[in-house]
Structure 1
């Protein structure tokens, strides 16, 4: 059983839905801080800076600093700085991505870039897509902060980064490299930032395709929260399973739940794959 335990936590659908805090999420995060469990909030939204994300959480009652935020923009910028230090990029995206690239030594240019980098945003225009297409065909590499096809907003669903990337891939015949969840690039970088071993890392998310699949690929323990976009009945559609299933993170907030014992046992090799059946039995017993 491992003594150290850390968490990589999705936000939308796990901590909040839209602008509403999910009941018990603040209590769970307070518990992690009180018991000295290292944690990061992981997001595939590259629009906001770390400070902006931390402020949003603070206004909802979760007091965390920038050091607790890990965005796909950060992962992308760090990845590019290792691939080609002090390179150049043409960016389709907003402030969070631009700041992350600048902080990692990249210059933003309008011609002859090393990379075309696509992130979340509402500033996509026909002109920017046309310019990006020409640059990719001229040799620039296409990089996506994530490949989520859409994203929820207060006014409904809008096209996401993946939709823009699909346009460029179709127009150029070039395949994008994606860095955000579920890419091992982001999942590994977040773990290393916390200084954790694989066996000490727990991923909590509400989306099978990103959070859970990303954790499964890396060998992390995975917890599916049914407070977001995934329903229990959806699990039959996937060839992989989470290690644990919870209604929401409120289930982990109580001191009666020993986190080190619950997740430490899995790290020591206990088979938790029957979690789906276990959760269904519990659900039927309470209905």
Structure 2
């Protein structure tokens, strides 16, 4: 894929932790970048693999940090899983391993949450996971019920260190059943298909911005959209030499991305009209 000019990007998909903020701290240049997107008439969507929280939670967090976000500005892997299933079996019966936030998300999309003859078993980042849930899920999967996971992250970073995430729970179920799930979230293409359906922006004018090579940047490569790495989170410059996937662009943070985007826009305005 030929690298697209920044000026041609009309919709930016933004990772949050490590890209827009770090824990509870806003990262430098984040608000300036968002203001420039609005000023230049561009769209955006915050994109997260975390399916334990709702879009409402993230909208409130971003608003408290200074950016007035609405729930429709955020897409979680949980909502992406709902959109994926709705395209295949609207009003399906689902056995869900998830938090109350994820249960509410699935209910709002019209799914029936039940262990009685479900059409799908769906695993999210379930901080309310119990042995009974695991036993029921494994029994259903062994019986042939399709297995879906919202995202593949093995660990979730917290202020107190890593905690087991959806990917670790997936490995437990796969070891017991011999069945691996269809995964929705980054770096898989299904989450970008959900994004494109939600934004109505073509892939050729969409870019993903994030701090992780193996999720954010790999998503761009898998989905054929522009990938932009920021070095404000997990990935450092020293990691790039041995990386299995390379971003289209690299910037220190969203502030320096804003400067490059503005410069590219100015250059675009100076180009002679052809025709």
Measure, in 2, the Cα distance between the counterparts of 1:27 and 1:37.
14
Aligned match of 1:39: 44
**Is the CA contact 1:91–1:116 (under 8 Å) kept in the aligned structure 2?**
yes
Q: 1:123 to 1:214 in 2, by over 3 A?
A: same
**Is the CA contact 1:149–1:163 (under 8 Å) kept in the aligned structure 2?**
yes
Please point out which of 199, 202, 214 is paired with 2:207: 202
Pairwise CA RMSD of aligned residues? Answer: 2.1
Aligned match of 1:107: 112
Aligned match of 2:176: 171
TM-score (structure 1 length as normaliser): 0.86
Aligned match of 1:63: 68
Measure, in 1, the Cα distance between the counterparts of 2:179 and 2:264.
45
Matches within 5 A, 1:68-83: 68-83=73-88
Q: Does 1:145 align with 2:154?
A: no
Q: Aligned to 1:61, what secondary structure does the other structure show?
A: coil
**Is the CA contact 1:49–1:95 (under 8 Å) kept in the aligned structure 2?**
no
**Is the CA contact 2:98–2:124 (under 8 Å) kept in the aligned structure 1?**
yes
**Larger displacement relative to structure 2 (21-30 or 144-153):** 21-30
The runs of at least 4 consecutive aligned structure 1 residues that moved more than 2 Å come to 1-4, 236-240, 252-263
Q: 1:178 to 1:131 in 2, by over 3 A?
A: same
Aligned match of 1:11: 16
Please point out which of 87, 94, 97 is paired with 1:89: 94
Q: 1:158 to 1:89 in 2, by over 3 A?
A: same
Aligned match of 1:220: 225
**Is the CA contact 1:47–1:97 (under 8 Å) kept in the aligned structure 2?**
yes
**Is the CA contact 1:111–1:135 (under 8 Å) kept in the aligned structure 2?**
no
Measure, in 2, the Cα distance between the counterparts of 1:141 and 1:107.
16
**Larger displacement relative to structure 2 (109-118 or 156-165):** 109-118
**Is the CA contact 1:149–1:161 (under 8 Å) kept in the aligned structure 2?**
yes
Q: Unpaired runs of 5+ in structure 1? A: 264-287
Shift of 1:110: 2.7
> Residue by residue, what CA displacement relative to the aligned partner does 1:2-60 show, whole Å, maximum 9, x if unpaired?
75611011001000111111111111112112221100000001122111110011111
Q: Unpaired runs of 5+ in structure 2? A: 269-275
Q: Aligned to 2:110, what secondary structure does the other structure show?
A: coil
Aligned match of 1:283: none
Q: 1:228 to 1:136 in 2, by over 3 A?
A: same
Shift of 1:261: 6.7
